[in-house]
Amino acid sequence: MSARHLVRTPTPTVVPADLEMKFLKAKQYQPEALELFRAISAEVRVCLPNARIEHIGASSVPEAMSKGDLDIFVGVPGDEVEKAVRRLNGLGFREKTGTLRTESLCMLETAKYGSGVAIQVVANGSRFEMFLAFRDRLRIDSRLLQSYNELKLESIGLDEDLYRERKSAFIEKTLSSAATRPNMNAPGAVVFDMDGLLLDTEKQALEAFLHACSIHGVTPHLPTYYRCIGRSHDTRQILIDGHAPGFPFDDVVKEWIAYSAANFKNRPRPVKAGAREILETVRKAGLPCALATSTPEPGATERLSAVDFDRYFDVMVTGDRVERGKPDPEIYLVAAAELGIDPARCWALEDSANGVRAALGAGFSVLQIPDLVEPDDDVRTLGQVILPSLQVANQLLLDALAR
């Protein structure tokens, strides 16, 4: 049974402008959807205490556009589907018309909370766990999520049934290629990069570099600069080799540092969206946690303490503590050794290609959340999971811990 059979095939029409579908950006609906999910799941838990209750659909995927719907997955043993449906009827949910109904699947909806709330009652282990598989694919693949959002925008003005058919075809195509989906087991420890991942400092560093180049009449070569992100030990030679002969490295660095001190040093560095949340998830789960940053001391501790992040780390490995900086794996091997956890059981979170290479070289499972530089085709084949935000990474971690 394919995804497109979950809805009946419609007769396509184009609707009047005043009735056409409207899609919301994530920040316009997801906070409310999450709050409602928590409230409804608590009610469902009372009548189905042993059910698997998970948030699915677009509202469960950070950055996903949606009409504002809330979808909830309720997984039960195959011989308890009908009993679960009856109990959910008691909460005001009724079978959704025009959708597939089998012994392993029943789609329910309710007007109790307004429009757009649905529950999918699914037999555990059945093919209808596809709802979870599709959600997980969207969470870990930023390009796929972008395509899904584009499909929705292109559907504005179409009949809603036609939109559903197109969406089902998209889901079917996505799941048919799910064999390459990464297996993210729960980590034994988590190791974080700092600049560009937890702190939004790479933009500040680039601003200071461009200023310094302008002061000294240098035309900056950005691809060369980007090669330095995440590195510490050999950036001097990279910058000199990548610019025109006579590049005044020492003068540029002096002005670079002065500009940064004058404009950024005396105020907390901006925190990346989702950073505090994922650090809290790690702390609450009791996972050992380390920092692996190319930034030397005392700069690393100063930046973290200014935003109250230093308290999250059991171990801090800074650039001045290792002989070979990223992309060499030394910094991650030191972090794992000091945590006392096998690297194969560790997750690393990085923004840069150099950091990704370092962590993969140490044997970590790696989540990359790109910052200034999108991964090129070579970087995308290294073996890491590329995510659009720390919010998505946090959800992936929560899911892994729940399994």
pLDDT tens-digit profile, the chain (403 residues): 445 445 444 444 444 444 467 889 989 999 999 899 989 988 998 899 888 888 999 998 989 999 888 999 999 998 999 999 999 999 999 998 878 888 889 999 998 887 689 999 999 888 788 888 888 888 878 888 999 999 999 988 888 788 888 888 888 788 765 444 455 789 999 999 999 999 988 888 888 889 899 898 988 888 888 888 877 767 888 898 888 888 998 998 898 888 888 887 777 678 998 999 999 999 999 999 999 999 999 889 999 999 999 999 999 999 999 999 999 999 999 999 999 999 999 999 999 999 999 999 999 999 999 887 778 778 888 888 888 788 888 988 998 898 7
Taking alpha carbons only, the member of 7, 49, 41 closest to residue 117 is 41
User: Residue 403 and residue 401: Cα distance in Å, rounded?
Assistant: 6
Taken as a whole, the chain contains a residue count of 403
Query: Is the Cβ–Cβ distance between 218 and 252 less than 8 Å?
Result: yes
Tell me the C-alpha to C-alpha distance, in Å, between residue 82 and each of 44, 125, 305.
15, 16, 54
Hey, what are 146's tokens?
């972008």
Number of Cβ within 10 Å of residue 276's Cβ equals 17
Tell me the C-alpha to C-alpha distance, in Å, between residue 235 and each of 96, 226, 260, 318.
60, 10, 18, 16
What residues are annotated to the active site? Answer: 193
**Locus of tokens 């075809």:** 169
User: Residue 300 and residue 297: Cα distance in Å, rounded?
Assistant: 5
Query: Is the Cβ–Cβ distance between 97 and 108 less than 8 Å?
Result: no
Query: Is the Cβ–Cβ distance between 33 and 68 less than 8 Å?
Result: yes
Query: Is the Cβ–Cβ distance between 381 and 363 less than 8 Å?
Result: no
Tell me the C-alpha to C-alpha distance, in Å, between residue 10 and each of 1, 4, 129.
18, 11, 24
User: Residue 349 and residue 246: Cα distance in Å, rounded?
Assistant: 37
Hey, what are 94's tokens?
């009724």
User: Residue 4 and residue 1: Cα distance in Å, rounded?
Assistant: 8
